[in-house]
Structure 1
Amino acid sequence: MQEVKLMQTTEEIQSTFDVIKLLRPHLIESEYYKQIKRMQQGGYQLAAVLYHSEVKSVAGFRINESLAWKKFMYVDDLITVTDGRSHGFGKTLLHWLENFAKENDCSQIHLDSGVQRHEAHRFYLRERMDITCYHFSKLFNES
């Protein structure tokens, strides 16, 4: 049976690493928990779909407010294990996120998705999400 859970303890957060790493391969396991804890100070939260106590899908998100979107949920990270796709784990998690957003008085949910993630785009469109804007970024030299 699928269960969605907010991941809060050290063990719960650490249990999401292997799944998040599929989306964010640059992450370092020994630094992951500390980074999540820092991000939580800014409102970041982790939710996961557990199936027989195994993490199958993970979302990192935050509730925010802007002049453009009023109060909204922004999904930073959303990934399902490769062998778990087409089993409903992503759909379960996205619907949980939508309900969580509504329960927290958000009027919208937003996420960015890399242009190369065609399977993810098909999933978002199937789940009745719209493509509403382009996202622009500029990298600065890291020292």
Structure 2
Amino acid sequence: MSIIRELSTEMDWLEAYPVMKQLRTHLSQERFLELTREATNSEGYKLAALYEEGEIVAVTGFMPMITLYNGKFIWVCDLVTDSNARSKGYGEKLLNYVETWAKNNGFDIISLSSGLQRLDAHRFYEDKMDYMKKSYVYLKEL
């Protein structure tokens, strides 16, 4: 039986790091902890994990935001399932968890971005989870 819980301590975050590292390959453990600590304290970032038989098999990070485009909404920053546990519905369960959290906390929009190369993820978001493709996200490194 799977269990989802919010990860609120650095020990929890360390436990989630091996799965998150599969999505955020550029992050060292130290940098992951540093960014998670800062985002949690200053931006309201939440990290949640899905456990199967006591082991983390999927992780999501999300946070409340306000923009003129969306108003008050939740931004899904991260969503990853362990490569050995994919196609078992864990991503769907975590996104449903985020949706429930959003509704319970007065949010009615959830938004996310997905890398251009992640075609399987795009099909998942659009076909299975009913997300609409609304824009492109652009990035300029300075």
TM-score range with shorter-chain normalisation? over 0.9
> How high is the TM-score relative to the length of structure 2?
0.94
Taking every aligned residue pair, what percent have the same amino acid on both sides?
A: 34
Match of 2:138 among 122, 136, 139: 136
Deviations 1:58-104 (A, max 9, x none): 11110111221111000111111112111111111010111111111
5 Å matches for 1:76-87? 76-87=77-88
The structural deviation recorded for 1:137 is 1.4
**Contact 1:70–1:107, Cα closer than 8 Å, also in 2:** no
Separation in structure 1 between the aligned mates of residue 105 and residue 69 of structure 2, nearest angstrom: 18
Does residue 19 in structure 1 map to residue 54 in structure 2?
no
State how many pairs are aligned: 140
The structural deviation recorded for 1:31 is 3.1
Structure 1 segments, 4+ long, off by >4 Å, are none
Q: Secondary structure at the match of 1:21?
A: helix
Gap runs ≥5 in structure 2: none
The structural deviation recorded for 1:122 is 1.2
1:28 aligns with: 28
1:112 aligns with: 113
CA RMSD of aligned residues (A): 1.0
The structural deviation recorded for 1:53 is 1.3
> How high is the TM-score relative to the length of structure 1?
0.94
Does residue 62 in structure 1 map to residue 63 in structure 2?
yes
Deviations 1:97-129 (A, max 9, x none): 111111111120000000001111111112111
